[in-house]
C-alpha cells in the first residue's frame, strides 16, 4: 500500500518534471485531468494507509500498555519481596534481641546465684569459725580447770604424803 502511494506520487512528480515549462515564470503546464486522476488514486489508497497507521499506533500503544503493566507487576513483586525480606530481617533481629535479653537475664541470674552461694558459704564458715572459737575457748577453760584440779589433787596428795 505504501508503495502504491509512493508510486502514485512518483508519477505526479514525473508529470510535473516532463510538463511544458512556461518561460520566465518557473511554472509548468500539465494536463489537469491526469493530475486529478492520480490524486483520486492517492486518495483511494490513503484510507488503507491511514487504517494501517492507526493499527500500528494501536498496536504500539497495546505493547506499551503491556510493558507498563509487566513493569508495574515486577515492581510490585520486587516491593513485596523487599517488604518480606525486611519483615524477615525484623523478625530475625527481634529474635536475636530476645535471645540476647535471655542470655543477659541468665547471666545476671547466674551471677546472683553464685554471689548468693558465696555469701551463704561465707556466713556458714563464719558461723563454724565462731562455733569453733567458742568451742576452743571452752576447751581451754576446761583444760585450765582440769589442770587446776590436777594441781589441787597433787597438792593434797603431797600434803597427805607429808603428813604421813
| pLDDT band at residue 138 under the 50/70/90 scheme | very high
Q: pLDDT digit string (tens) for 100-130? A: 999 999 999 999 999 999 999 999 999 999 9
Position 88 scores a pLDDT of 85
In the predicted model, what is the mean pLDDT of the chain? 88
- For the record, the C-alpha cell of 25 comes out as 515564470
pLDDT of residue 71: 92
Q: What is the pLDDT of residue 38?
A: 87
The yes-or-no verdict on residue 69 having pLDDT over 60 is yes
- Looking at residue 19, the DSSP 8-state letter turns out to be S
Number of neighbouring beta carbons within 10 Å of residue 24: 6
* Backbone Cα Rg of the chain: 62
Structure confidence at residue 112 (pLDDT) = 93
| Cell numbers that stand for 51 in this block | 487504517
- Residues whose CB falls within 8 Å of the CB of residue 91, separated by 6 or more in sequence, listed in order: none
Q: Is the pLDDT at 162 greater than 90, yes or no?
A: no
Cβ atoms within 10 Å, residue 34:
13
**Residue 163: per-residue pLDDT:** 67
Residue 20 DSSP symbol: E
**pLDDT higher at 38 or 47:** 38
Which DSSP state fits 68? H
C-alpha to C-alpha distances, 149 to 60, 93, 144, 146, 162, nearest whole angstrom: 130, 82, 8, 5, 19
Q: What is the spatial distance between Cα 36 and Cα 32, in angstroms, rounded to a whole number? A: 6
CA–CA separation, 94 vs 100, rounded Å? 10
Q: What percent of the chain has pLDDT over 90?
A: 46
Amino acid at each position: 500500500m505504501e508503495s502504491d502511494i509512493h508510486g502514485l506520487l512518483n508519477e505526479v512528480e514525473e508529470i510535473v518534471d516532463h510538463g511544458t515549462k512556461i518561460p520566465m515564470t518557473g511554472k509548468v503546464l500539465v494536463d489537469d485531468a491526469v493530475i486529478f486522476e492520480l490524486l483520486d488514486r492517492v486518495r483511494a489508497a490513503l484510507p488503507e494507509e491511514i487504517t494501517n497507521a492507526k493499527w500500528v499506533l494501536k498496536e504500539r500503544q497495546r505493547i506499551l500498555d503491556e510493558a507498563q503493566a509487566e513493569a508495574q507487576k515486577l515492581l510490585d513483586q520486587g516491593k513485596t519481596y523487599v517488604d518480606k525480606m525486611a519483615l524477615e530481617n525484623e523478625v530475625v533481629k527481634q529474635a536475636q534481641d530476645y535471645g540476647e535479653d535471655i542470655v543477659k537475664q541468665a547471666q545476671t541470674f547466674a551471677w546472683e546465684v553464685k554471689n548468693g552461694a558465696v555469701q551463704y558459704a561465707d556466713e556458714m564458715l563464719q558461723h563454724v569459725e565462731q562455733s569453733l572459737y567458742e568451742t576452743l575457748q571452752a576447751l581451754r577453760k576446761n583444760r585450765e580447770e582440769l589442770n587446776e584440779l590436777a594441781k589441787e589433787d597433787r597438792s593434797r596428795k603431797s600434803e597427805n604424803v607429808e603428813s604421813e
